[in-house]
């Protein structure tokens, strides 16, 4: 079992940048795909970004393409989400998730992930 733990959330002004991290503990010797999702108040969980274990494939939600970048450091069991040009609409709780095995068709949906973190709040002020 793997336990993702998010960190780095906070308050930032519109147009600013923030990097959040997710460190996985537990059975980190396995090769997990990792993803970020977010949930704003009163809305459903939205896919943000995903990366395969090798890092050779990345995926992004339409609303963050060109602004957010996902990366990972397997030696540190950590995945990062660099968020630039932040907008008030990016305000949400950001969740990190790990997938034991997710075919390409499931890498952008919550159902493709097996383990979830508790989330970190990102607030973008206008």
Q: What is the pLDDT of residues 45-101, one digit of tens each?
A: 999 999 999 999 999 999 999 999 999 999 999 999 999 999 999 999 999 999 988
> Of 23, 17, 19, which Cα lies nearest the Cα of 98?
23
Residue 103's pLDDT band (cuts 50, 70, 90): confident
- For residue 73, the number of C-alpha atoms closer than 13 Å in the C-beta half-sphere is 8
Encode 29-39: b = buried (16+ Cβ within 10 Å), e = exposed.
eeebbbbbbbe
**CA pair distance 42, 37, nearest whole angstrom:** 15
Burial class (CB in 10 A: 0-12, 13-18, 19+), 66: exposed
Distance (Å, rounded) from C-alpha 116 to C-alpha 110? 10
Q: Are strands 58-60 and 68-73 parallel, antiparallel or unpaired?
A: unpaired
Q: What is the pLDDT of residue 102?
A: 80
CA distance 34 to 42: 25
Return the percentage of the chain with pLDDT > 90, whole number.
83
């Amino acid at each position: 079992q793997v336990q993702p733990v998010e960190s780095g959330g906070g308050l930032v002004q519109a147009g600013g940048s923030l990097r959040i991290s997710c460190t996985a503990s537990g059975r980190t010797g396995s090769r997990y795909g990792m993803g970020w999702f977010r949930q704003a108040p009163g809305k459903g969980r939205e896919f943000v970004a995903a990366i395969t274990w090798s890092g050779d494939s990345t995926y992004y939600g339409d609303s963050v393409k060109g602004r957010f970048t996902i990366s990972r450091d397997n030696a540190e069991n950590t995945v990062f989400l660099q968020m630039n040009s932040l907008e008030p609409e990016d305000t949400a709780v950001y969740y990190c998730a790990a997938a034991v095995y997710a075919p390409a068709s499931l890498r952008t949906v919550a159902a493709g992930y097996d383990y979830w973190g508790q989330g970190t709040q990102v607030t973008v002020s206008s």
